[in-house]
Structure 1
Amino acid sequence: MATLNFALVNTTGSNNVYAYITGQAIDNNNALFLLQADGKTAYFPTSPSSTLTALSQDCAIPLGASGSTKTVTIPHIAGGRIWFVRDGKLTFYVNPGPALVEPSSSNPSDPNYNLYWDFCEFTWNSAQLYVNITDVDFVSLPIALALTNTSGVTQTVQGLPPGGLDTICTALRTQNSKDGAGWDKLIISKNGANLRAVSPNTGITLNNSLFKSYYDAYVDQVWSKYASDTLTVNTQAAAGDVTATVSNGKLNFSTGNISYNQPSTADIFSNSSGAFAVSGDSTKDAITARLAAAFNRSTLLTNTKQPNGEVVSNYYQNSVTNHYARICHATTINGRGYAFPYDDVGPSGGTDQSGSVFDGSPKLLTVTVGGLTNAVSENTVSETVPQSSVPPPVPKKPSRLAGLKNVWHKFSHS
């Protein structure tokens, strides 16, 4: 069975950090997979008779003292996650299926809610290893990636610097002082310290009155503009360029009888509800991804061609925009990292924003939790990854990443 090494590096300053690795074992009929505490033994939970059944094996992988590196070995995995927790241990459960009950950042009754934890996501199959950091649901612990292939070339995503969470929380408070929209409500604290900053979509889950009509005026302006102008969307797929104008209250496209009602703020932040719900029509779903990205970045009033013709410096310039995403990108060392589900949308040949690394011939993945303390090595490739080389967006579940074809098993404690 094929295996691959991951090097997990602890730079948190804490000597009490654990990792967990979960996913679906591709070479074992996609069975639910966790790695045991020794970092090399697979654990395949069986279907329990009741919900919220405790794991029968210890899957908390100790990383050792700050500055230490723990090397683990994994098989081919789909829908993988590498979880990190500082100063505690995470609690996972198994439901009938079996289905894994993951830690929740949006359920205050979850046993992990008041812990410092975070994760990155990956899929490793016979074609490639694909890994990304993510702020789609929340941001807490800094995570950085370095993927070295068999030719010795390394790709990196540097992620948040040490103390990045505090920087983000300060910026959210500053933004709220400007517009009073509720950005400070995205900050979750513990004993007066910042625990995490959640995304607007997660924030709405915690408080359904948050951002209730935040985008309404901007959406009205977009609809007014395209009542007389023509919007062109490059699907970056077989349909190529498609055009649309507004009539009878809908944004109507010239192909496939595709149209959109005005999206709500919740639709825009989730990328997957209401007007932006997954349709199963590949052309419409490609358009949806690009519209959702343009609304989050607030570029539809300044550019009639989406996503081509855009540059990163034009993103988030309107006063009504996804300021959480803006702040996350501004805080990461190189500006890369998923901040909303379709953050991997971008102009062909443009700069990738998604914070991913991928290679068909991987040798070692190094994941650093706590923030990078050293400069990038000389053999590291450029951080500017051409957008055309990034796996294209695909329809996905809410608050999950467009570049990964994952099925996540969740259970509500409420």
Structure 2
Amino acid sequence: MRTRTKWLSALASLAAIASAAVATTPAQAVGPELLPLNVTNNSGRSEAVHLYVLGTDIRSGRLGYVNQAGAFTPWSPGGNPPTPAPDVSIDGPGAGGTATLQVPRFISGRVYMSFGEKLKFFLTPDGLVQPAPWAGGDPNSGILFDWSEFTYNDAGLWLNSSQVDMFAVPHAVSVTGAGGETKKAGELKAGGRDAVIDGLRNQAGWSGAVVSGSDGSVLRVLAPGKAADVGKFDANYLDPYIAQAWNAYTGKTLTVQPFGDRPDVKYFGRTSGNNMNFTDSTGKQVASFAKPSTSNVWGCDGALQAPNDQVVGPIARTLCAALHRTTLDRIDVQPGGGAGDFYQGSITNHYSRLVHQNMVDGRAYGFAFDDVQAQESLVHDGDPRSAGITLTPFSGAAAVAPVVSSGAVESYVPNWNFVLN
């Protein structure tokens, strides 16, 4: 078990950027102070569902939890070793039912949902230890659970399903705005969960990522970085492709245009030795990246660390997305290509490929910067009236009513990955 955790959401930093961008026009709150979040259980399963709303008050930075009525309570200090957190679970809906939670403004966090057993959280003097079922000894490793991630503030609601760490409970997310339009994302195709599981089991070298419980049923599929961390996947799997992509730019130039709304902003990369160096349009060097490891690519960190700036970070996230999708060597203007160009070749992120392939709209959060080119399973509304999480069937037919698909919001929300330290 990890003994320390931080909630790291790019939404907090993006909120600062957004505020700076509209500094001359003060933000005006929209949407209700308490936003109804309807959790509907169309899973077809009979176990009790337990819900948790955990996160950060982005005004104060304090970690805490939200009860069903929408009251935020900061966590009390924990101990070392970590001490059990109080039970803050909310009773979820029974089969075919809906439970309504209230989400207060200025919260950025997660909605956890577990089947059968309640999750076990712990507190340290620094904050909350979240479940990490890929880690040895984690007390939640035998529990079927998942989460969605959200931020609700004066600029509206952002809500996404996440497969960045693992793929476990099929669920769709939605938001309804003041005009009555509902946007939805994250819905699996009929039989999609089984298709992802079977696809990984049948992909050479990837079967270790599929994790089953004591009864033989599949609890989750681990993302490649998490599977590699615990010895269930080749830690150097992507190295040959990384070398191929890095070497491709010893003799040609990579052009990175990281902002869809500012196509005039371009950076130009060439590989020299182990480094890919980038210049701006004046010829000034603005960034340099050492050749990343497989682990760096899976985590979009280390050599590909993306600071919250307007130059190095946007280039890093573009490189990381292209390496996950194995387009970097083939397409020399990035972001480049479309969904049909992604995940080609025998060495690629087959986990993300299969998750995307089995989504109704093709969109998922298969890795940290999957929002590059708006491939993520995210819904946003600047003036929301309600939101939803629908637990969908684990096999067989889908059970989410068709609604209007959500639009791209890539330029506003680049990454929702919450990280355990």
Residue 332 of structure 2 corresponds to residue 304 of structure 1: yes
158 and 293 in structure 1: CA distance in 2 versus 1, 3 angstrom threshold: closer
CA distance in 2, matches of 1:231, 1:393: 25
Partner of 1:94: 123
1:20-31 correspondence to structure 2 within 5 Å: 20-26=52-58, 29-31=60-62
Measure how far apart 1:300 and its partner are.
1.7
CA contact (8 A) 2:209 2:233 kept: no
Residue 344 of structure 2 corresponds to residue 314 of structure 1: no
Name the aligned partner's letter for residue 217 of structure 2: A
Partner of 2:220: 196
Name the aligned partner's letter for residue 294 of structure 2: T
205 and 39 in structure 1: CA distance in 2 versus 1, 3 angstrom threshold: farther
Q: Secondary structure of 2:53's match?
A: strand
Pick which of 165-174 and 245-254 moved more: 245-254
Residue 249 of structure 2 corresponds to residue 226 of structure 1: yes
Q: Secondary structure of 1:123's match?
A: strand
Residue 270 of structure 2: which of 239, 245, 250 is its match?
Answer: 245
Partner of 2:229: 205
CA contact (8 A) 2:149 2:416 kept: no
CA distance in 2, matches of 1:112, 1:200: 20
Residues 132-184 of structure 1, C-alpha deviation per residue, up to 9 Å, x if partnerless?
A: 111000010011112101110110014334653332110002211xxxxx211
CA distance in 2, matches of 1:3, 1:315: 40
1:62-101 correspondence to structure 2 within 5 Å: 62-97=91-126, 99-101=127-129
Q: Secondary structure of 2:277's match?
A: strand
Pick which of 215-224 and 58-67 moved more: 215-224
CA distance in 2, matches of 1:20, 1:375: 22
Structure 2 gap segments, 5+ residues each: 1-31
CA distance in 1, matches of 2:413, 2:186: 22
CA distance in 1, matches of 2:118, 2:351: 28
CA contact (8 A) 2:392 2:399 kept: no
Q: Secondary structure of 1:159's match?
A: coil
1:9-20 correspondence to structure 2 within 5 Å: 9-12=40-43, 13-20=45-52
30 and 252 in structure 1: CA distance in 2 versus 1, 3 angstrom threshold: closer
Measure how far apart 1:369 and its partner are.
1.6
Name the aligned partner's letter for residue 269 of structure 1: W
Measure how far apart 1:78 and its partner are.
3.2
CA distance in 1, matches of 2:324, 2:119: 32
391 and 131 in structure 1: CA distance in 2 versus 1, 3 angstrom threshold: farther
Residue 368 of structure 1: which of 362, 365, 390 is its match?
Answer: 390
Residues 234-260 of structure 1, C-alpha deviation per residue, up to 9 Å, x if partnerless?
A: 121878111112223322212334222
Name the aligned partner's letter for residue 369 of structure 1: L
Partner of 2:320: 292
Name the aligned partner's letter for residue 86 of structure 1: F
Partner of 2:372: 345
Partner of 1:179: none
Residue 360 of structure 2: which of 333, 347, 354 is its match?
Answer: 333
Q: Secondary structure of 1:7's match?
A: strand
Partner of 1:355: 377
Q: Secondary structure of 2:202's match?
A: helix
Measure how far apart 1:196 and its partner are.
0.5
Measure how far apart 1:85 and its partner are.
0.4
Larger relative contact order (CA 8 Å, sep ≥ 6): 2
CA contact (8 A) 1:211 1:265 kept: no
286 and 334 in structure 1: CA distance in 2 versus 1, 3 angstrom threshold: same
Partner of 2:14: none
249 and 111 in structure 1: CA distance in 2 versus 1, 3 angstrom threshold: closer
CA distance in 2, matches of 1:214, 1:142: 27
Partner of 1:53: 83
CA distance in 1, matches of 2:222, 2:69: 30
Structure 1 gap segments, 5+ residues each: 177-181, 347-351, 395-401
Name the aligned partner's letter for residue 301 of structure 2: S
Residues 85-137 of structure 1, C-alpha deviation per residue, up to 9 Å, x if partnerless?
A: 0111111122113x111111221311111100000000001111001111000
1:369-384 correspondence to structure 2 within 5 Å: 369-371=391-393, 373-374=398-399, 376-377=401-402, 380-383=403-406
CA distance in 1, matches of 2:338, 2:222: 26
CA contact (8 A) 2:57 2:106 kept: yes
Measure how far apart 1:299 and its partner are.
0.6
Measure how far apart 1:211 and its partner are.
2.4
CA distance in 2, matches of 1:252, 1:32: 39
Residue 162 of structure 2 corresponds to residue 130 of structure 1: no
CA contact (8 A) 1:172 1:184 kept: yes
Residue 90 of structure 2 corresponds to residue 34 of structure 1: no
Residues 10-51 of structure 1, C-alpha deviation per residue, up to 9 Å, x if partnerless?
A: 122224111111011246x23322123x55444322223544
Name the aligned partner's letter for residue 304 of structure 2: F
223 and 55 in structure 1: CA distance in 2 versus 1, 3 angstrom threshold: closer
CA contact (8 A) 2:144 2:220 kept: yes
CA distance in 2, matches of 1:61, 1:163: 29
Percent identity over paired residues: 28
